[in-house]
Amino acid sequence: GITPRAIHALFDEAQKMAHQCTVTVRTYFLELYNDGLVDLYHVLDNPGSRAAPPKLDVKLDAKKMVFVKNAVVKDAASADELLNLFEAGNAKRHVGATKMNAESSRSHSIFAILVEVYNRTTKKTSVGKLSLVDLAGSERADKTGATDERLKEAQNINKSLSALGDVISALSTGEKFIPYRNNKLTLVMQDSLGGNAKTLMFVNISPADYNADETVTSLTYASRVKLIKNTANKNAESEEVAQLKAIIKNLKAGGTGEVAGADVLL
């Protein structure tokens, strides 16, 4: 599968640069279920808990990278450790039976891998994120036989996919306003679609005539993604810049401006 291959490729690259760089890998894992964000690692860490989980807030940092406030972030020191985290979180996703699929995904999932590379020679730190997003397929109630809760899930899936389609359309035609905020799916995916990102879309289609409409819709969706043009740049900063940012943050918080390891005081 794509996820195991991506994980092993990531740690293979980390191993190649280990003589010069320190690579730190972290991850968070979310699902969008019925228009609500669910922290799958929180669910994993709190089995059977009836307490309300912390509210998840989607934010952008200074480099326009999405981060999710209050999401559980876990460290992974090896490919096996990261893959185990993925599989454990994935097992907590919402699934249900329909006429078309005995174990149909009832949610979209966002498996984010955060990578920080510190070059011990140049003293520069580079940061990046790989988002592996599994989109639930659009559904027609007359085919799936969805009723009650399954129908509600399908309606929310289709609503979020429609919002994603609007964002893709706006990006592919060069619109100035991109409607990321129209849905939580597009809000959490915005740094994967526009700006400083490279995006790949893999589409599952069916060879059956019965599914021809869904196949055409999926291929049309993917062809629009192909029209999006981004310029991806390396996110890097020197040790001195990082220290200055820490000093400024300390001052804003009412501190003295003195930060451990910093050679400069403001």
CATH numbers and ranges of domains, the chain: 2-233 (3.40.850.10), 240-266 (no CATH)
pLDDT for 263 equals 38
Per-residue model confidence as pLDDT tens digits over 186-211:
999 999 998 788 889 999 888 999 88
pLDDT band (50, 70, 90) for residue 77: very high
For residues 95 and 173, give the distance between their C-alpha atoms in angstroms, rounded to a whole number. 35
pLDDT band (50, 70, 90) for residue 177: very high
* pTM to 2 decimal places: 0.84
| Residue 174, C-beta contacts closer than 8 angstroms, at least 6 positions apart | none
For residues 114 and 75, give the distance between their C-alpha atoms in angstroms, rounded to a whole number. 9
pLDDT at 150 over 80: no
Residue predicted with more confidence, 19 or 231:
19
Q: Are 185 and 34 in contact (CB under 8 A)?
A: no
